[in-house]
């Protein structure tokens, strides 16, 4: 399994491909058939239109496997998704701090029920025009249709496209890319959320975790600068007789603290048959 931002793969190879591929569409019994009709209505910060941004900042092809991401807490969420939020900021001009704060709030730091079963980090519903997979979840009404992704990276990209292709959000792209406060209030003004305190919640998350620093890093290096993020593999280890957390950490060259964090362990006690998540850098 690919962990963290290993999904950006080899950018040069992707750039030489023949363009963005359409997603697989999956129809389920009783669900409406939708078609893609919308065109971009807003310009990303680097003056690329949405199709150009997709081409210059591509996503790897979907493997077709649903990847599960065990997230222990908000810091772990940020550690895993900050780089993809910055990648999206370079492509579409949406502040990384806003993307991260929305993801944290909407997904329960990656641990909410909807996110766990759909990898949908932003609570985006199917809407007319959605051709991808979907699932049903009780939200404002019972059994609403939500978009489903095999990997969280596609959720982040869809969030970028969602904001940059709808006219009601177009004015946001006139704001400075590091002005997270105006973006937070602008999202509420545009109707992204009905919660009157939505802007204050986003701002509080950003300032508590210093997420604005990710915006500043992108602005300092240039919005359209592509940086290849780190790559990680995630797999599992089934505890056998004689295994210790320290021994497993040595075997896979990972710290005991990281093992505990990945597996929500409060101590070093493990049991035979227990399945542990392991993450190693490539």
Phi-psi region of 95 (alpha: psi -120 to 50; beta: other; left: phi over 0): beta
Highest mean pLDDT among 20-24, 60-64, 143-147, 257-261: 143-147
User: Cα(156)–Cα(99) distance, rounded to whole angstroms?
Assistant: 8
Residues 164 and 100 occupy one common structural domain: yes
User: Cα(281)–Cα(197) distance, rounded to whole angstroms?
Assistant: 39
Residues 180 and 160 occupy one common structural domain: yes
Residues 102 and 165 occupy one common structural domain: yes
pLDDT at 222 > cutoff 80: no
pLDDT at 280 > cutoff 60: no
pLDDT at 109 > cutoff 70: yes
Report, as an integer, the average pLDDT of 121-143. 75
How far apart, in Å, are the Cα atoms of 197 and each of 107, 126, 162, 166, 262?
17, 25, 22, 23, 32
Least reliable range by pLDDT among 44-48, 80-84, 88-92, 127-131: 44-48
Residues 203 and 237 occupy one common structural domain: no
Any domain includes 102: yes
Residues 135 and 161 occupy one common structural domain: yes
Highest mean pLDDT among 1-5, 35-39, 261-265: 261-265
Q: Specify the pLDDT at position 10.
A: 31
Residue 77's domain comprises: 51-221
CATH of the domain at 269: 3.10.350.10
CB-neighbour burial class of residue 71 (10 A; exposed 0-12, middle 13-18, buried 19+): buried
What is the number of structural domains in the chain?
Answer: 2
Residues 113 and 133 occupy one common structural domain: yes
State residue 237 phi and psi, 5-degree precision.
Answer: -130, 125
Residues 81 and 195 occupy one common structural domain: yes
pLDDT at 68 > cutoff 60: yes
Q: Specify the pLDDT at position 228.
A: 40
């Amino acid at each position: 399994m690919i962990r963290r931002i290993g999904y950006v793969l080899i950018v040069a190879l992707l750039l030489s491909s023949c363009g963005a591929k359409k997603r697989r569409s999956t129809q389920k019994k009783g669900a409406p058939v939708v078609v893609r009709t919308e065109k971009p209505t807003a310009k990303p910060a680097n003056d690329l239109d949405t199709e150009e941004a997709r081409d210059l900042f591509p996503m790897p092809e979907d493997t077709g496997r649903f990847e599960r991401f065990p997230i222990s807490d908000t810091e772990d969420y940020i550690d895993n998704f900050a780089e993809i939020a910055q990648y999206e900021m370079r492509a579409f001009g949406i502040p990384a701090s806003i993307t991260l704060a929305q993801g944290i709030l909407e997904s329960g730091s990656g641990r909410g029920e909807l996110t766990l079963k759909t990898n949908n980090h932003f609570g985006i519903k199917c809407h007319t025009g959605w051709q991808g997979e979907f699932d049903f979840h009780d939200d404002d009404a019972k059994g609403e249709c939500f978009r489903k992704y095999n990997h969280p990276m596609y959720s982040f990209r869809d969030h970028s496209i969602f904001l940059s292709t709808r006219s009601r959000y177009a004015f946001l792209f006139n704001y400075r890319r590091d002005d997270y406060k105006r973006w937070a209030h602008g999202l509420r003004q545009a109707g992204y959320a009905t919660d009157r305190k939505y802007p204050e919640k986003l701002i509080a998350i950003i300032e508590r975790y210093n997420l604005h620093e990710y915006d500043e890093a992108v602005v300092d290096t240039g919005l359209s600068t592509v940086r290849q993020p780190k790559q990680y593999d995630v797999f599992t280890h089934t505890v056998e007789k004689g295994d210790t957390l320290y021994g497993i950490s040595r075997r896979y060259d990972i710290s005991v603290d990281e093992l505990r964090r990945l597996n929500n362990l409060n101590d070093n006690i493990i049991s035979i048959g227990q399945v542990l998540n392991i993450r190693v850098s490539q």
